[in-house]
Amino acid sequence: MKVVRLLRDEVTIGRKEGNTIRLTERNVSRRHARLIQRPEGILLEDLGSYNGVKVNGERITDPLPISEGDKIVIGDYILMLKLDEQEGAVDPFEEMATVPVERVDMESVMGAPLPAATPSAASVPAVAAQPVVGASTPSVSAVAEPASLSAMDQGTQLIPAAEVAQLVLLTSNQAGTFYSMDRTPMIIGRTSENDIVIDHKSISRNHAKITFANGVYSVTDMQSANGVRINGEPYDNMSLRKGDTLDLGHVRLRFVAPGEKFDFVAETYGDGAEKSNKGIIIIVLVLVVALGIGFVAFGDKIFGGKNDAPKSAAVVPVTAEQVLTKVEDFKKNRQWAEALGVIDEALSKGNPSSGDRDKLNEEKSQLQKNLDQKAAIDQAGTQMTAGQWTAAYQAMLAIPQGAVYYADAQKQIETIRTSFLQSAVAQAKQDVLSKNCANIDTL
């Protein structure tokens, strides 16, 4: 745990050097948030970060007053405001520009104890357990995501030859290039320090990370400018399966599973931009010629001539009540995407009144929350398979009480705890048999 005293009127939090509190994980923005001391109290403000700031499980959109004990989540870190009484406190910033926050134990991150039988080393106490005396100088206590439970975050590790997968470039001028993923993790990016270098303007400096755990390969977006898509759908983190296409910016790759045979055929995916551009030019020329002929033949009718086309009937405005009645059956069956489709069509084509439009947008917002929560619960299963216990646990904790999927989330939390415990015990037994003392200490 790192404690930072708030001896300035403004304390900045972010990944970049120069912030008062520096959080080094990549899911923290360069300038993520700030704390502002005012006579009436302390305000927390999100500085337009990519992953946002949550206070007690709710994402903030405006500067928010915070109190002692509030749980602030920034990326993989949890921060809390504590009021203590220490006379003659020394400004920690006299000797350093920033205060980096390091990783600690799992119990601190999750905000709730794991099962009592979980094997662990002596852990750092959770922030909430620290005694508080008096109320003079405020300070921020920060904890981060623990050392990962899977092997992939314990430094680069070689992958057994039988489980080595490949990525093959399908597009760009390097199409047909195969990359062997023989270690974990591996970073894909545009510059030379990456494990897999793809020199393309749509690829970020450090674009994505490939990890391998429990027989499953996964890809994580490293806050790239153009994102990561799997089979056309955007993801921040997702496991890879045989035949998946992976789009990084405007570059497409194919995941070749261990033992899979794949022959790259250039014609299947296009021979590059030159032929494509020629095809576009030919199409454009044909369209220009066709438009010219149409102008000569029908110009008089278009400009001032008689228009024999029947007038279209006026659109009768739909009401919010009509649309919400139609949506109700989809909601009962938890078909959120279909319900959203009905509302989107009504908003774009139904010409609702201003008041009805507001009601429909409010319903649309709630439906989208339900859809996102369902996706989080579905993804939790994949994350457990990949050994990403913390990510799955935190995603379930983020589903608030009263939500449609709250009960499902609570069941998933119990499953995560049980699954983690079983995995940890199995790993411990294997380490005992192989006399891997170092790994036993880590567990």
Mean pLDDT check: name the lowest of 60-69, 136-145, 377-386.
Answer: 136-145
Segment 25-32 shows an average pLDDT of 86
pLDDT band at 250 (very low <50, low <70, confident <90, very high): very high
Q: Hey, which CATH number is domain 10-81, 2.60.200.20, 3.40.50.360, 2.40.50.140, 3.40.50.720?
A: 2.60.200.20
Integer Cα distance of 229 and 237 in angstroms:
10
Segment 338-386, tens digit of pLDDT? 888 888 888 888 888 888 888 889 888 899 999 999 888 888 888 888 8
CA distance 147 to 122: 13
Does 146 have pLDDT greater than 60? Answer: no
If you average pLDDT over every residue of the chain, what do you get?
76
Residue 389: name the closest of 407, 406, 414 by CA: 414
In this prediction, residues 80-98 reach a mean pLDDT of: 51
- pLDDT value at 62 more than 70: yes
Contacts of the segment 129-135: beta carbons below 8 A, 24+ positions apart: 130/1, 130/82, 132/68, 132/82, 132/83, 132/84, 133/84, 133/85, 134/83, 134/84, 134/85, 135/83, 135/85
Please compute the mean of the pLDDT values over residues 64-88 and round it to a whole number. 79
Q: Identify the CA nearest to 213 among candidates 78, 41, 388.
A: 388
pLDDT exceeding 70 applies to what percent of the chain? 69
Token reading at 431: 């380490």
SS3 133: coil
Q: Read off the tokens for 338.
A: 């279909």
Identify the residue with better confidence: 389 or 259.
259
280-315 pLDDT, tens digit per residue, is 445 555 555 556 666 555 555 555 554 554 554 555
Query: At residue 152, what are phi and psi to the nearest 5 degrees?
Result: -70, -20
Q: What residues contact 410, with CB distance under 8 A and at least 6 apart?
A: 396
Domain with CATH 2.60.200.20 in the chain: 10-81, 157-264
**For the chain, how far is it from start to end, CA to CA, in angstroms?**
19
The mean per-residue pLDDT over the stretch 105-110 comes to: 44
Q: Is 436 helix (H, G, I), strand (E, B) or coil?
A: coil
Q: How many CA within 13 A on the CB side of residue 133?
A: 3
Architecture of domain 157-264: Sandwich (2.60)
